[in-house]
């Protein structure tokens, strides 16, 4: 029986997240292998420690493919470098090579994808502020326009995310830890529809093929999984149908260009899609929650993604 090796990494700050009774999570991981059934293939896991030196002791007998699940270059820079060296040493096909993951921080995504036709990605710059004045200087030097968003690098799910509408609000940012750690500034792009509502599409990309994961409608621009309201279900279903029947063909063309630029086997996209099938990008990364079913009707969208991922891993394993 052939074998897969899943590589995970402890964050650079060595913290884990407590998410419930006896449930812990290591952030910055795509966590795909826990949700897949790999037929005729066993799966070993290697957890890389950013502080521990030496080489990982890996049994490569029957090993045919490596699944790099370390997915956040901001929170896991050290273990991504270790994963890259480990993958090079093993010399087997790799799902999401760490050297390509290292090129997916928010600023690099903006620079890489900003010229793709049919796609708008707001200008994003990274900074290491020690005072609100440093933020003001960064805004001026990079010619950023208000309103804009500031967030701590490596944070997800709206954590530490603040909307800045003017310079006066920047001067009152002392609630943030301005100690030289990395932040991102991103110009805010309005995407409210004619009903005064916001719709966020989450897409999964597997081997270059796009899949719709979900659509969430909200009265707020900041949308996350807990934003879902029963009153918007019919509108969400209508948008899902419109995507599959009208927009998917056009979106696939854009996604194919993103896929070629990023060189990743698997990643997620959070975006808004207008009536012209143009994409407003919020996030593009391999760290996105795609396979966890937190909604009663999600299986019909998750199942094809799981199937595509399992086939992708199987195909890569046969290239040995």
Residue 313, domain member (yes or no): yes
The reply to whether 291 and 256 lie within a common domain is: yes
Report mean pLDDT in 10-residue bins for the chain, 320 residues.
92 75 59 72 90 78 95 96 95 97 98 97 97 95 98 82 93 88 97 96 98 96 85 95 97 98 98 97 94 72 94 87
The reply to whether 182 and 202 lie within a common domain is: no
Q: Looking at 142, 161, 187, which one is the last position of a domain?
A: 187
Q: What is the CATH number of the domain that holds 202?
A: 3.30.470.20
pLDDT (0 to 100) of residue 18: 60
pLDDT (0 to 100) of residue 320: 63
The reply to whether 127 and 33 lie within a common domain is: no
Q: Looking at 47, 81, 97, which one is the last position of a domain?
A: 97
pLDDT (0 to 100) of residue 271: 98
The reply to whether 218 and 183 lie within a common domain is: no
Phi, psi dihedrals of residue 182, rounded to the nearest 5°: -85, 135
pLDDT (0 to 100) of residue 298: 64
The reply to whether 176 and 207 lie within a common domain is: no
Q: Which domain holds residue 131?
A: 123-187
The reply to whether 160 and 242 lie within a common domain is: no
Q: What's the total number of domains in the chain?
A: 3
The reply to whether 298 and 228 lie within a common domain is: yes
The reply to whether 163 and 66 lie within a common domain is: no
Tell me the C-alpha to C-alpha distance, in Å, between residue 249 and each of 132, 134, 192, 242.
Answer: 45, 44, 24, 11
């Amino acid at each position: 029986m052939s074998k897969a090796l899943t590589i995970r990494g402890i964050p650079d700050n060595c913290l884990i997240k407590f998410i419930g009774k006896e449930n812990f999570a290591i952030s910055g991981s795509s966590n795909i292998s826990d949700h897949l059934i790999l037929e005729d293939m066993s799966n070993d896991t290697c957890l890389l420690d950013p502080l521990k030196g030496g080489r990982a002791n890996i049994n490569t007998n029957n090993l045919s493919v490596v699944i790099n699940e370390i997915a956040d270059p901001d929170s896991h820079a050290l273990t991504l470098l270790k994963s890259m060296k480990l993958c090079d040493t093993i010399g087997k096909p790799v799902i999401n090579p760490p050297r390509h993951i290292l090129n997916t921080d928010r600023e690099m995504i903006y620079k890489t994808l900003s010229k793709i036709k049919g796609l708008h990605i707001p200008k994003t710059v990274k900074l290491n502020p020690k005072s609100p004045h440093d933020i003001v200087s960064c805004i001026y030097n990079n010619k950023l326009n208000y309103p804009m968003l500031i967030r701590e690098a490596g944070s997800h799910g709206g954590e530490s995310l603040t909307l800045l509408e003017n310079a006066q609000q920047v001067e009152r940012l002392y609630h943030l830890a301005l100690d030289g750690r990395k932040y991102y500034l991103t110009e805010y792009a309005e995407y409210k529809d004619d009903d005064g509502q916001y719709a966020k599409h989450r897409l999964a990309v597997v081997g270059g093929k796009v899949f719709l994961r979900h659509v969430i409608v909200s009265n707020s621009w900041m949308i996350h999984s807990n934003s879902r309201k029963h009153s918007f279900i019919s509108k969400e279903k209508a948008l899902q149908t419109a995507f599959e029947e009208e927009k998917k063909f056009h979106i696939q063309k854009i996604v194919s260009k993103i896929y070629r630029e990023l060189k990743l086997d698997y990643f997620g996209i959070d975006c808004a899609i207008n009536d012209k099938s143009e994409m407003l990008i919020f996030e593009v990364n391999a760290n996105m929650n795609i396979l966890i079913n937190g909604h009663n009707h999600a299986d019909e969208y998750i199942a094809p993604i799981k199937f595509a991922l399992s086939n992708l891993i199987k195909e890569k394993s046969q290239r040995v």
